[in-house]
Structure 1
Amino acid sequence: MTKKRAVTFKPYIKTRYAYEKLRVCRHCQQFTVLWEAECSQCGKSTLVPIRERVTAKVKRTMLNERLIALFIGLVAIYFGQTFLQMILSAAAAILLIALLWFVQRRMLPFEVPSEMETLFEQEQPRIIEDIKRNRKLAVAALKDDELLTYEMLREISTFVQNDKIRLQQVVLLQSFVLRKDMDLRVEPLLIDSFDTDLAAYIGEVAKVQRELIKNSSIRYILAYEAHILEMENGVEILSSVAGAAIRLKKYVEAYPEFIRRYARNIPKDRFLRLYRMIQQHPESYWGNLAEEVAVIRRERYEWDSDF
């Protein structure tokens, strides 16, 4: 069995939109979702966020429009027949440029997303190819640095999501010692089929970060419960997830039979929480769970003052 490594992840910067992870090289126009300081294609330090590039392009277009307005004003002044006409032309030009600048300033927040959409439509094939190149770089780093490979795949998965990349991350995460202070994820890594590494990962996360075990995670474990029971530590995985589900009353109400099946295997603190929850909410429907909890309490904790 491979010994797990204790690692510290590079801080993961979350963005509101996935495209905000995308950067482009001003020199060779290559796209990347990685944090590299230099472009992997041309080696130059000319990578800029895609939004910054698009915003600069929109501002250049708006500047050109103002310059055209200025040129028209200068032509009108040049061809003015009288001094009054020249003054009026200059005033009209100034007013036009000021009005244009005001409108452009108001329209900038709307023009940038529109231009961004146009860019993605035009550059989609190239963006896809460049992200594939990012993935090849991540795989190439695997032999020397599993942590670096995971961090690269984590960035790539923000923009490209498929089961292959999800499972690659899960396998790498299973080579690390998971801790409460780590930036872990579960639901973004779920796939549509059973995988032993994913099941084992969910079981470990259920121990160190219970708050990450939510509906989708529990449903995944339930869907493949029979497969998990065939694993060497299958009961432990299922018990850990059942214990984590006790965190919220809504999960206990939603999955009472699942929790009942593994109630005998959960730690005392989780069982105590479950016992108190049932005692405090007798009006809720617990199925056979309430009876099972009463039996376990009587068999194991009858003389325990905590109960």
Structure 2
Amino acid sequence: MVKKKPVRLRPYYRTRYAYQKLRVCKHCHHFTVLWEDTCANCGRHALIPVMDQAAINAKRSMQTERLAALLLTLVAVLLSQTFLQIAVCLGGGILLTVLLWLLQRRMLPSETRRQLDKLLHGSQRLILEGIYLNLSTASAAIKDDEQIGYEILREIATIVHNDRIRLQQIVLLQSFVLRKDMDLELEPLLIEDFDSDLAAYIGEIAKVKRELIKASAIRYLLIHERYILQMKQGASIMTAAAGAAVRMKKYVDMYPDFIRRYARGLPRERFLRLYQIVRRNPDQSWDGLRDEVSAIYNEKYRWDPDFQKWE
């Protein structure tokens, strides 16, 4: 058995949109999703968020428009033949330039979004090259420091969604001692096919961070239940997930048969939680779950004082 290592993962900054993880070098236009200070391509301290680059592009575009307006004003003044024409052209040009500037101030947010869309679509090849370089960095890091390698893959997974990266993350996570205070995730790592490392990871998550066990994870376990039960700790994985599921009544409503099958193996504290849900809802049978809970209660906990409160 491989000995797991205690690690302290750096906090993971979640963004509303995936593109917010991207940064671009102002000098060489290289893209990265990592937290590095210098550009891996040119070595300069010139990395900025893509939204900042889009804002720069928007302001530059607007500045060009204002310069064009001033240039037209200058041409009109030079072509004027009388002082009145000069005054009208100059005054009108300045007024139009000011109005343009005021309009641009109002349009800056929408123009920034347009420039962002233009930047992302026009730089797809450079973005891919940057991500491939990030993947190379991750591969090299894993050999020296698995924790850093995992953290790099976690950042890349924000942009690149494929099972290969998910499985690499899972394998690395399974080499760590998982704790409740760690910034862990589960749903983004789920895949369609059965994987023993993923199943084992779900089992550990069910013990250290029950709140991450949601409907998608339970569905994964049920779909691959036959294969999971063939694993050495398969029954423990399913039981731990059932114990995590009973934290919310909605999962009891959704998966009563699953919880019924593993209720007998639940630790006392998790069974007490299930017992409380059952007692609070006397009108629901949950396809035999109530009868199973009653039988387990009579066999193991009938004289337990904590259970007596729910008689």
TM-score (ref. length: structure 2): 0.95
Gaps of at least 5 residues in structure 2 are none
Name the stretch that deviates more: 123-132 or 4-13: 123-132
- Give the structure 1 partner of residue 49 of structure 2: 49
- Give the structure 2 partner of residue 144 of structure 1: 144
Are the aligned partners of 1:239 and 1:262 in contact in 2 as well (CA < 8 Å)?
Answer: yes
Equivalent residues in 2 for 1:177-216, closer than 5 Å: 177-216=177-216
Equivalent residues in 2 for 1:22-101, closer than 5 Å: 22-101=22-101
Tell me the CA shift for residue 61 of structure 1.
Answer: 0.9
- Give the structure 1 partner of residue 293 of structure 2: 293
- Give the structure 1 partner of residue 161 of structure 2: 161
1:253 aligns with 2:256: no
- Give the structure 1 partner of residue 108 of structure 2: 108
Give the whole-Å Cα distance in 2 for the aligned partners of 1:84 and 1:41.
58
Are the aligned partners of 1:20 and 1:51 in contact in 2 as well (CA < 8 Å)?
Answer: yes
Are the aligned partners of 2:285 and 2:291 in contact in 1 as well (CA < 8 Å)?
Answer: no
SS of alignment partner, residue 13 of structure 1: coil
Are the aligned partners of 1:31 and 1:131 in contact in 2 as well (CA < 8 Å)?
Answer: yes
Are the aligned partners of 1:73 and 1:89 in contact in 2 as well (CA < 8 Å)?
Answer: yes
Give the whole-Å Cα distance in 2 for the aligned partners of 1:82 and 1:29.
50
Give the whole-Å Cα distance in 2 for the aligned partners of 1:38 and 1:158.
21
Name the stretch that deviates more: 39-48 or 222-231: 39-48
Which letter maps to 1:151? E
1:236 aligns with 2:240: no
Are the aligned partners of 1:9 and 1:182 in contact in 2 as well (CA < 8 Å)?
Answer: yes
- Give the structure 1 partner of residue 224 of structure 2: 224
Are the aligned partners of 2:256 and 2:287 in contact in 1 as well (CA < 8 Å)?
Answer: yes
Are the aligned partners of 2:26 and 2:47 in contact in 1 as well (CA < 8 Å)?
Answer: yes
Aligned length: 307
Give the whole-Å Cα distance in 2 for the aligned partners of 1:81 and 1:253.
86
Which letter maps to 2:3? K
Tell me the CA shift for residue 274 of structure 1.
Answer: 0.7
- Give the structure 2 partner of residue 124 of structure 1: 124
Name the stretch that deviates more: 275-284 or 87-96: 87-96
Tell me the CA shift for residue 113 of structure 1.
Answer: 2.0
Give the whole-Å Cα distance in 2 for the aligned partners of 1:144 and 1:122.
36
Gaps of at least 5 residues in structure 1 are none
Name the stretch that deviates more: 173-182 or 77-86: 77-86
Tell me the CA shift for residue 268 of structure 1.
Answer: 1.1
Tell me the CA shift for residue 108 of structure 1.
Answer: 1.7
Which letter maps to 1:93? G
- Give the structure 2 partner of residue 275 of structure 1: 275
SS of alignment partner, residue 182 of structure 1: coil
Tell me the CA shift for residue 128 of structure 1.
Answer: 1.4
TM-score (ref. length: structure 1): 0.97
Tell me the CA shift for residue 283 of structure 1.
Answer: 2.3
SS of alignment partner, residue 16 of structure 1: coil
Name the stretch that deviates more: 93-102 or 217-226: 93-102
Tell me the CA shift for residue 233 of structure 1.
Answer: 0.7
Name the stretch that deviates more: 255-264 or 71-80: 71-80
- Give the structure 2 partner of residue 2 of structure 1: 2
SS of alignment partner, residue 205 of structure 1: helix
Give the whole-Å Cα distance in 2 for the aligned partners of 1:43 and 1:73.
44
Are the aligned partners of 1:253 and 1:284 in contact in 2 as well (CA < 8 Å)?
Answer: no
SS of alignment partner, residue 12 of structure 1: coil
Name the stretch that deviates more: 77-86 or 109-118: 77-86
Give the whole-Å Cα distance in 2 for the aligned partners of 1:39 and 1:110.
29
Which letter maps to 1:215? A
Are the aligned partners of 1:253 and 1:285 in contact in 2 as well (CA < 8 Å)?
Answer: no
Tell me the CA shift for residue 285 of structure 1.
Answer: 4.3
User: C-alpha deviations, 1:38-96, integer Å up to 9, x for none?
Assistant: 11122111111111112111111100110111122223233333333333222211221
Are the aligned partners of 1:31 and 1:127 in contact in 2 as well (CA < 8 Å)?
Answer: yes
Give the whole-Å Cα distance in 2 for the aligned partners of 1:294 and 1:152.
49
Which letter maps to 2:204? E
Tell me the CA shift for residue 264 of structure 1.
Answer: 1.1
Aligned residues: percent identity? 56
Name the stretch that deviates more: 11-20 or 154-163: 11-20
